[in-house]
A and B are shown apart, each in its own frame.
Chain A
Amino acid sequence: ETGVTQSPTHLIKTRGQQVTLRCSSQSGHNTVSWYQQALGQGPQFIFQYYREEENGRGNFPPRFSGLQFPNYSSELNVNALELDDSALYLCASSLRDRETEAFFGQGTRLTVV
């Protein structure tokens, strides 16, 4: 098991609501990346945080936002939820520019109804 923990593990929300997902990174890791994994697909990069600032973003709308805290833990916030936001959300922690040594959490399964 990795040292990356995500909460909650499962979540059901209604379309239009807002959701916050949380990630605690591996000890010593200063970079957190978030991915969305739809059923049957590979993970898609949402964004990365390094030293509390966004350090790269994938093709996701502004209603996907994030935070990184001084202890390097992170949050993913999604506003105005849509049915297509239903997916497994993965958090990966690493050292900056050491993505080959990234550790993934077990993910949060979000269902939007």
Chain B
Amino acid sequence: GESVGLHLPTLSVQEGDNSIINCAYSNSASDYFIWYKQESGKGPQFIIDIRSNMDKRQGQRVTVLLNKTVKHLSLQIAATQPGDSAVYFCAAPQAGTALIFGKGTTLSVSS
């Protein structure tokens, strides 16, 4: 089955810096990948997704890059703000119903 994993459990940045959160996956057949943000006491919130036939997708202040050769994706957050402090998960579908989540990277932004 699918497994996804994040490279670093924690990331600390200064306000205004760019943040990069990385994720590796195992199943090359995944049709898409999703990044979620989870703030303390809340459920995961959708940030951005990327289809497997794409290499890059941009949103507001966020960019996701997908490298299928090495089965790696990354989430880049531009001009990181204190409100970006949260746990970030990558997720991929399995068997058409489940989403498989990684363990998460805790992003801490200091001002």
Contacts and interface: CB of A to CB of B under 8 A. Distances in A.
Q: Do A and B come from one complex?
A: yes
A45 B91 CA distance: 11
Contact of A42 (B43, B94, B96, B104): B104
A16 interface: no
A84 interface: no
Interface in A18-43: 33, 35, 40-43
Contact of A2 (B43, B101, B103): B43
A2 B43 CA distance: 9
Interface residues of B, number: 23
A4 B49 CA distance: 20
Interface in B63-84: none
Contacts of B91: 42
Contacts of A92: 43
A43 B101 contact: yes
Interface stretch (A63-71, A75-83, A97-105): A97-105
Given A41-B103, A48-B98, A90 B43 contact: yes
B25 to A, nearest CB: 13
Interface of A: 2, 4, 33, 35, 40-45, 48, 55-56, 58, 90, 92, 97, 99-107
Given A35-B101, A99-B34, A99-B99, 15 more contacts: A2-B43, A4-B43, A35-B99, A42-B91, A42-B101, A45-B100, A56-B97, A56-B98, A92-B43, A99-B93, A102-B99, A104-B44, A106-B42, A107-B42, A107-B43
